[in-house]
Chain A
């Protein structure tokens, strides 16, 4: 008998998170993410961890940040409406540099939308949902196994860069079951946030040495004493009205990601070496794209797939590196053209960019992608 087991994407998110060391989950039920809360309620206490169902998503993200400040790897999971409610405190987490993972299993919106239908309309919200200039890391899996391994990476990046990481799933992957053989937990690489060695009051808890980007602090309750705030703050963590200090702080927070894109960005490329057309996609859309690309290759067409796994920051250098050999890009996503803007910005007119999108809650099929691929230039119509 095979060692593989049938596992749902949402379930893999929980198992992966637990393998990464997640020991606290606060959430509020919402389709299609609810299984993540249910599995966390079942599994966390078995691991000595804690689950709490909060009164709403505002409370969920706040409790997650609180638990993380007290030293636990913490996560919440939601979908569009709840993700909207969490936005303010995502900015808080970025500003106060508190690691956590926020899973958004996207569903069709706007508003309550189609609760059980797939979509990828939260892509831009994941980047710009909270106010102000802020750092963002967002990862998007396309299979059940990748959900498991990638959410471990989400925790690792959150810990390493002391920032919330958005795990941007979609209903396609969240509710899909696949046979998976999970890696041996002993082979996994697990990061832990940098800690200081300070005891007692620390007036420099947010101090970052030249050439580094991330402060080192102990969690609350381990002997180091300091203040955390969402206000612009100095190295002591105390609010400041100094424009100079505020400017330096926000710049460092942004540099933390911008100067480390090579470490943060991951892309899956399939058959790209000789491709003349790249189909760009992310998350569950890759399922239809891969079927279409394989079929196109069978027909002898030079088509490849370029799939950002790190969707924020958008891996623009990786895409730019492919532009020399490409004649055409087809962006396929379950929204009205969100990653499309990043692709267009990156390409800057050097390659023609076509688009296939969907906003009705149904899934784009391989045949539709093949049909779009076989459209000659000039036949394409704006979406």
Chain B
């Protein structure tokens, strides 16, 4: 199980964390990895807590749930507070910079970026926050080549929204500086 990379995506319903999780799993599959994606959610379509998980591995993945994530994306405070304690040793957290990082245990490696504001102001559509996040995650962790990630996005967005989602993906990637990318880049080997 140590060969797996376990990712958790959390936010309030409607922020699109499930889709973010699905897109990264799809990118992994396109790149020839094994991937399993699942989610847990409450009855609310908007609001409430939404949690999605993606496991990526070179080997067959059996147990499909994430218990100790290597990576956590948190888009609201309650999900950050809820899931930060379960982070695996050496795990990485990405949060929206509007959140307080106080809940994170001392020494946690985290990246705070303006995901929600970028979606709203730079891209111009608040609902693209999840795609902005995907762009930022991949730029920071260097999980998959840009081309395959873009293909994964295209497979999961409604027809006619390609342009705005490309813009969101690029805007997300632009949030990550070269230094951050060097510090957080992950190797599959």
Point out residues on A near B: beta carbons under 8 Å. 1-2, 4-6, 115-117, 172, 175-179, 284, 286-288, 290-291, 294-295, 363, 365-366
Structural contact, A1 and B62, CB atoms closer than 8 A: no
Structural contact, A6 and B64, CB atoms closer than 8 A: no
Structural contact, A179 and B63, CB atoms closer than 8 A: no
Contact A6 B63, CB 8 Å, known A177-B38, A178-B36: no
Supply 20 A–B pairs (Cβ within 8 Å), ascending by A.
A1-B31, A1-B32, A4-B30, A6-B25, A6-B26, A6-B155, A115-B43, A116-B40, A116-B42, A117-B40, A176-B37, A176-B38, A177-B37, A178-B34, A178-B36, A179-B34, A290-B63, A291-B63, A366-B1, A366-B62
Partner of B64, one of A4, A117, A172: A172
Partner of A365, one of B61, B63, B151: B63
Contact A288 B26, CB 8 Å, known A116-B41, A116-B42, A178-B36: no
* Min CB–CB distance B39 → chain A (angstroms): 7
Structural contact, A177 and B36, CB atoms closer than 8 A: yes
- Name the CB-closest residue of B to A178: B36
Give the residues in chain B near A286, CB-CB below 8 Å: 62
Partner of B63, one of A5, A115, A117, A287: A287
Interface centre among B28, B64, B151 (most CB of A within 10 A): B64
- Name the CB-closest residue of A to B63: A291
Structural contact, A290 and B30, CB atoms closer than 8 A: no
Structural contact, A176 and B64, CB atoms closer than 8 A: yes
Partner of B22, one of A4, A116, A177: A177
Q: Which of B30-83 contact A (CB under 8 A)?
A: 30-43, 61-65, 67
Is B29 an interface residue, CB under 8 A from the partner?
yes
Q: Which applies to chain B's interface (DSSP): helix, strand, loop or mixed?
A: mixed
Give the residues in chain A near B67, CB-CB below 8 Å: 365
Give the residues in chain A near B64, CB-CB below 8 Å: 172, 176, 284, 287
Give the residues in chain A near B63, CB-CB below 8 Å: 287-288, 290-291, 365-366
Structural contact, B65 and A178, CB atoms closer than 8 A: no
A295 to B1, CA, bound (A): 9
Contact A290 B22, CB 8 Å, known A116-B41, A177-B38: no
* Min CB–CB distance A250 → chain B (angstroms): 41
Structural contact, B43 and A365, CB atoms closer than 8 A: no
Structural contact, B62 and A177, CB atoms closer than 8 A: no
Partner of B65, one of A1, A6, A117, A363: A363
* Min CB–CB distance A45 → chain B (angstroms): 18
Structural contact, A2 and B30, CB atoms closer than 8 A: yes
Structural contact, A291 and B22, CB atoms closer than 8 A: no
Give the residues in chain A near B22, CB-CB below 8 Å: 6, 177
A359 to B35, CA, bound (A): 28
